[in-house]
Amino acid sequence: MARRYDPERRQRIIDAAIRVAEERGIGALSHRVVAAEADVPLGSTTYHFASLDDLLVAALRQVCGEAGTTVEGWTEYLERDAPLADRIADLLAAYMDESRSGRVRMEYELYLAALRRPALSPVAAEWLDSTLDVLGRYTDSPGTARTLSALIDGMLLQSLLTGRPFDRDEVRAEVARVVGGETVAGGRVAGEEPVPGGRVVGEEPVAGGRASDR
């Protein structure tokens, strides 16, 4: 029997893998499970993706590039006319909307899978680099961007792990501690602005006196 031409089959397999990961976790992924979800023969999954890691890499690349996930899409919020801490808090609140909780959990599960699956490490690193690049446009230094990125990941993971409601005001306060003085697209706002905890940009209180300027 002639092989049926099906140019969309590879994409359907990737989409099916993402659905399985979102609904059941990546531990449930197998060629057989994904083939059933995609309604394709088992041989099709192994033809397009020789190993499960190959399929996970394709899934992670697609997730990182989707409109609701891609870091470049953050600029919709980051370009708004508001203090940076508010812009980031609003961005994360939208990201953690209850309707997206399953998707966000899956995204982080794929991202963290790189700890055990070296094949995923380059994709995870690319996503992290793009995060730092975008945040760096709105902060005063690469170090601040990296700290802010780590804070964002930590807060989102804690929310996912504990099931606690996302607290926009708490997130705003914690982000403000990191970013200090506000920035806007294209440069820093003149002057120093105190934030919760007493820190101002360029100055950090410590026991017994003032820390050196960063």
pLDDT single digits (tens) 22-77: 899 898 999 999 999 999 999 999 999 999 999 999 998 888 876 555 666 788 88
**pLDDT value at residue 180:** 76
Split at pLDDT 50, 70, 90, the class of 107 is: confident
Amino acid found at 39: D
Q: Which residue has the tokens 């397999």?
A: 13
Split at pLDDT 50, 70, 90, the class of 214 is: very low
Q: What are the pLDDT digits (tens) for 123-141?
A: 889 888 988 999 999 999 9
203 bridge partner residues: 200
What's the half-sphere exposure (Cβ side, CA atoms, 13 Å) at 45?
25
Enumerate residues 6+ apart whose C-beta is below 8 A from 145: 132, 135, 136, 139
Average pLDDT on 103-109 reads: 85
pLDDT at 147 over 60: yes
Strand, coil or helix: 159: helix
**pLDDT value at residue 190:** 32
What proportion of the chain, given as a percentage, has pLDDT over 90?
A: 46
**pLDDT value at residue 185:** 43
Phi, psi of 187, rounded to the nearest 5 degrees: 160, 180
Cα–Cα distance measured from residue 45 to residue 32, given in angstroms and rounded to the nearest whole number:
8
Cα–Cα distance measured from residue 125 to residue 194, given in angstroms and rounded to the nearest whole number:
34
Which two structure tokens, joined as six digits, stand for 169?
């005001």
**pLDDT value at residue 181:** 53
Cα–Cα distance measured from residue 163 to residue 77, given in angstroms and rounded to the nearest whole number:
25
CB 194 within 8 A of CB 200: yes
Average pLDDT on 6-10 reads: 84
Q: What are the pLDDT digits (tens) for 80-97?
A: 899 999 999 999 998 888
